[in-house]
Amino acid sequence: VFLMKMINETVTPELAALWLAKSGGNRKIGERRVASLAGDMVADRWQLNGEAIKFNKAGVLVDGHHRLTACVSSGAAFRSLIVRGVELDITDTLDTGKSRSAADVLKLHGHANYCILASVARQNISYSRGTGLTTKGAARVTNAAIRQEVNANPALEQAVTLFSSAYRGVTPLMPPSLAAFFLYKFGSKYPDKAADFFAVLAGIVSTTVSNPASVLREKLIKNASVKKYKLHPRDLAAIIIKGWVH
């Protein structure tokens, strides 16, 4: 009888490279996934969570390629559970479960409005990286990075709470996460001006038709009501910023 053996081990870049050389093949390596994992390793966000690097009975690596590739590319060691001796034909059963989202993680840690909060934190990280409000073409933002951002920046959650309680009227005009993100960014420097701006956007307060927030609201209503005027989020963000600075 061949028994599986399990051990917690520190995986160095040199060891990771050695194990990758013993690979029996893998799905295509995702560069963004590798970059995001490497970022967590370098930033010391990596946690020993029970997910294992697996070798089959023949000593062939069958699971953990992205983690090991990230270790090699980052030059940072990490701790992992290592399992040796799994069956030879388990490949089809790997990575078939539902991935846990950042919103799931925040919910488990007791945060309210967790879906919007996760998205706002992701946008803020992307914005800080200089990639705009999207992670397209950049390293994926991991759940660990999003939770760290929320914990390190309480103002994010405060902005999401304020949006959810006071400015939900904006929701038909733009994605809630985009609105909450701009409420956070604008309000961090000019809280009173941001409150007035979003009160107009949400239809809570009426003002002159020439008021920049009022002009923006009319543009957003048109964008939301006529299909051909549906704007890409990047373009939507641009007109929101333009309305704010005028």
**CA pair distance 164, 226, nearest whole angstrom:** 26
Q: Supply the pLDDT for residue 15.
A: 96
Answer yes or no: are the C-beta atoms of 132 and 126 closer than 8 Å.
yes
Helix/strand/coil for 9 = strand
Q: In what order do the strands lie in the sheet with 61-63?
A: 5-11, 78-86, 52-56, 61-63
Q: Supply the pLDDT for residue 188.
A: 95
Q: Supply the pLDDT for residue 96.
A: 46
**CA pair distance 210, 7, nearest whole angstrom:** 68
Strands 52-56 and 78-86: parallel
Q: Read out DSSP for 31-43?
A: HHHHHHHHHHHHT
**CA pair distance 36, 38, nearest whole angstrom:** 5
Strands 5-11 and 78-86: antiparallel
Answer yes or no: are the C-beta atoms of 214 and 238 closer than 8 Å.
no
Q: How many CB atoms lie within 10 A of CB 177?
A: 22
Which tokens hold the place of 95?
A: 């990575």
Helix/strand/coil for 92 = helix
Q: Supply the pLDDT for residue 93.
A: 61
Return the beta strands (E) in the chain as ranges.
Answer: 5-11, 52-56, 61-63, 78-86
**CA pair distance 169, 218, nearest whole angstrom:** 14
Q: Supply the pLDDT for residue 136.
A: 54
Q: Supply the pLDDT for residue 134.
A: 61
SS (H, E, C) 135-162: CCCCCCCCHHHHHHHHHHCHHHHHHHHH
pTM (two decimals): 0.69
Task: Give pLDDT tens digits for 94-136.
Answer: 654 457 789 988 998 999 999 999 999 999 999 888 877 764 5
Q: Supply the pLDDT for residue 225.
A: 85
Helix/strand/coil for 109 = coil
Q: Which residues of the chain have pLDDT under 50?
A: 96-97, 135
Q: How far is the CA of 224 from the CAs of 123, 197, 202, 229, in angstroms?
A: 22, 19, 14, 7
